[in-house]
Structure 1
Amino acid sequence: MPETLSRRALNRATLERQLLLSRADLSALDAVRHLYGMQAQAPAPPYVGLRSRLEGFAPDDLSGLLYDRRVVRLSLMRSTIHLVTAEDCLALRPLLAPMMERGLRGRKGLAGLEPSEVGRVGRELVEERPLTFRELGAALAGRWPDRDPADLVAAVRETVPLVQVPPRGVWGVGGQPAHTSAEAWLGRPLDGAAGPAEMVRRYLTAYGPASVMDVQQWSGMTRLGEVVRGMGLRVFTTEDGTEVVDLPEAVLPDPEVPAPVRYLAEFDNMLLSFSARTRTRIMADEHRGRVFTVNGIIKATVLVDGFVRGLWRVASGRGEAVLEVEPFAPVTAAERAELEAEGMRMLELFAPSAQVRGVRFV
């Protein structure tokens, strides 16, 4: 019989692999490589994520990597924007291509068109100069005037690896994202080095014991059961009988090891990378409705004792910045003190020049 892993054991294993059980002494590049995809629908989450996970992280550490083209922002897992290393971009994008192209099915505006042909034209356009999606849609409409520009842009987005070029994603800099192809930006072709088994291995390295459904939820891919079964992985069961697997060489932390308070960004990859049955390792089901909104926003959350126990936001203006914490339940005096200390650390990121900074519980 496989060994049973408690919810707390899964929690501590995931926190450790996500660099949330203790801050790691890693470079920003090494951390991005280890985490194997940081959610990046908005510019701030990767910075908040690294601030919570690394010793001595400063925004320029990541912004410099974007300008140096060592990390990139593009649509990958689940066809959502992720921050990855250049190497992982080139390796992963071909593997995920069939999943991404499935997203074009049912688009009536593309009926009778070959998406790859639209992608070819779109590639030529964005490789001439980086374009926003509005600019790309207008240019494509010149070729297909009877089609919805949004559908034409979708065809390019799903068939061509489009990276968002700086200053998009640079801390403190706004503006609409402009895109070019990964090959043009990085000066290298896609290599497809990440086969399904390698992808599963990297996922487990970053997230801990997981079920086949977890890997599929994270990646957006299907039919990974045979791949997982052929990898010789260690097998466990959860308290509700779900089978999860892990790397044979992985060492699981003590379930009773203390977990520090941490602030997770909106859309943090921790909240989107597990199926419903094992998501309780990080967040109780009764809290999902307060974190995942009906319009697709995933709110910034607070981890207390390793689990999602509240929300947070920063309010600033006129030289003052306040981090507001909204606990889902009362916290102890010790937890409150830790939330305040960690909150002040986060305010150093968001409001370094504020004359007055503080943490408020609401």
Structure 2
Amino acid sequence: MTVLDSRALNRATLARQHLLTRGDTSVPEAVAHLCGLQAQEPHEPFIGLWSRLADFTPAHLDEALTGRTVVRTHLMRRTVHLVTSDDALAWRARHDTMLRQRVLGTYRRELAGIDLEEVAAAGRAVMADQRPRTMTELVQAVEDRWPGPPRRALGELLVAALIPMAQLPPRGLWHQTAGVRNLPLATWLARDVDPLPDGDGDPVGQRLLRRYLAAYGPAASADLRAWCGLAGLPAAVRAARDELVVFRDERGRELLDLPDAPRPHPDTPAPVRFLPAFDNAILGYHDRSRIIDAAHLGLSVAGHRTVLVDGRVTATWTVRSRQLHISPLRPLTAPEQEAVHAEAETLRTFLDEDIEQVRLTTET
């Protein structure tokens, strides 16, 4: 069986993520291919798409959000994701159990003994007037019936688990600051969430698997679980297995992939890329060694924006005091510094935040 080393896996990931060569697809097509972008920080997806798409402008994503082809919603790992409207409706029912379990796991004591179906029915009744509400407003409308749980616990149960919700614009629009206003997905998109199909084989899970591999493969089953947060996908993997190819990584893990998906030569040059906080190119795996060193794993979950040099996380970046600060995690060669600085200058222009200077720290 073919063994793929970390560099081969890195180049495959970069190619699938449009980080080896910027793509020329539309925003909805890119969001669909990437299986969504993590978006709890509202403006970070703009940076993620800028790094991946040629000629991307913020207006393209604004138009997709206001035009309802892309939507902000709780989905993978119970985090807010930017996904296409079609995917939100097709995938939500498959995530329902996980979303409930994660909220109940966080607030197990506070929500003990509560009847979830009663709470869901009450929340849907409140939202039936099709008026967008904040989480606080929704909780205030039902809390007389459930005075025990803290507002935060009851609110997250309603908007992140029990009722499939969209977070409406202007939340998530470029250079706009807005609180979260919720509306049921079915109301916002004028279409009900797709029900789970009857029968064996988990067809929705199989589609998730194939879509994941197209954007993240080759990958192990554990990577798939880490990306979506779903534990119950073994049936989907078994059902799709005959259509997949199998590799091993250097640790002996079995890696699954689509037969015709790109797997560039490990020596393929990789350009400098600036990634936003919580980018799924890093977080979309259980084993992240293909893109980030073990010593820096904490950066990927702490909200640090990162810089890829030769395909790997090699620096962090931030904007403060009208400067774009880049802090390398290892010494950079002179050509690497030049490439990082050049990409940073294009990012400075894109961000349009009156950034006066790019500052690259040379000490590590």
Q: TM-score range by the shorter chain?
A: over 0.9
Q: Which of 212, 219, 230 is equivalent to 1:221? A: 230
Match of 2:123 in 1: 122
- Check the 8 A contact 2:323/2:355 in 1, yes or no: no
- Structure 1 distance, partners of 2:320, 2:79, is 27
- Structure 1 distance, partners of 2:6, 2:13, is 11
Does the alignment pair 1:301 with 2:280?
no
- Structure 1 distance, partners of 2:212, 2:20, is 18
Match of 2:277 in 1: 266
Does the alignment pair 1:245 with 2:256?
yes
Structure 2 gap segments, 5+ residues each: 197-202
Give a deviation string over 1:231-274, Cα, whole Å, max 9, x none. 12100000111110101222311110000000010111112111
- Check the 8 A contact 1:218/1:273 in 2, yes or no: yes
Match of 2:268 in 1: 257
- Structure 1 distance, partners of 2:291, 2:83, is 23
Give a deviation string over 1:138-169, Cα, whole Å, max 9, x none. 22213323332222212212111111000000
- Check the 8 A contact 2:348/2:355 in 1, yes or no: no
Q: State the 1:225 CA deviation.
A: 3.0
Query: Bigger shift: 110-119 or 208-217?
Result: 110-119
SS at structure 1 position matched to 2:7:
helix
Give a deviation string over 1:55-104, Cα, whole Å, max 9, x none. 11111110111111110001001111000000000001011111111124
- Structure 1 distance, partners of 2:358, 2:236, is 50
Structure 1 gap segments, 5+ residues each: none
- In the alignment, residue 350 of structure 1 is paired with which amino acid? L
SS at structure 2 position matched to 1:163:
strand
- Structure 1 distance, partners of 2:120, 2:152, is 13
Match of 2:135 in 1: 133
Match of 2:190 in 1: 187
Q: State the 1:174 CA deviation.
A: 0.5
Match of 1:33 in 2: 32
- Check the 8 A contact 2:16/2:262 in 1, yes or no: no
- Check the 8 A contact 2:15/2:262 in 1, yes or no: no
Q: State the 1:357 CA deviation.
A: 3.8
- In the alignment, residue 76 of structure 1 is paired with which amino acid? L
- Structure 2 distance, partners of 1:306, 1:127, is 48
Match of 1:94 in 2: 93
Q: State the 1:127 CA deviation.
A: 4.2
- Structure 1 distance, partners of 2:94, 2:148, is 33
- In the alignment, residue 27 of structure 1 is paired with which amino acid? S
Match of 2:154 in 1: 152
- Structure 1 distance, partners of 2:236, 2:155, is 33
Residues 297 and 130 of structure 1: is their aligned pair in 2 closer, same or farther, counting only changes over 3 Å?
farther
Aligned length: 350
- Check the 8 A contact 1:18/1:206 in 2, yes or no: yes
Does the alignment pair 1:57 with 2:56?
yes
Match of 1:209 in 2: 218
Q: State the 1:192 CA deviation.
A: 4.4
Does the alignment pair 1:22 with 2:21?
yes
- In the alignment, residue 311 of structure 2 is paired with which amino acid? G
TM-score by length of 1: 0.92
SS at structure 2 position matched to 1:271:
helix
Query: Bigger shift: 111-120 or 236-245?
Result: 111-120
What RMSD in Å do the two structures reach over aligned CA positions?
1.7
Residues 127 and 265 of structure 1: is their aligned pair in 2 closer, same or farther, counting only changes over 3 Å?
farther
Query: Bigger shift: 129-138 or 76-85?
Result: 129-138
* Identical residues among aligned pairs (%): 41
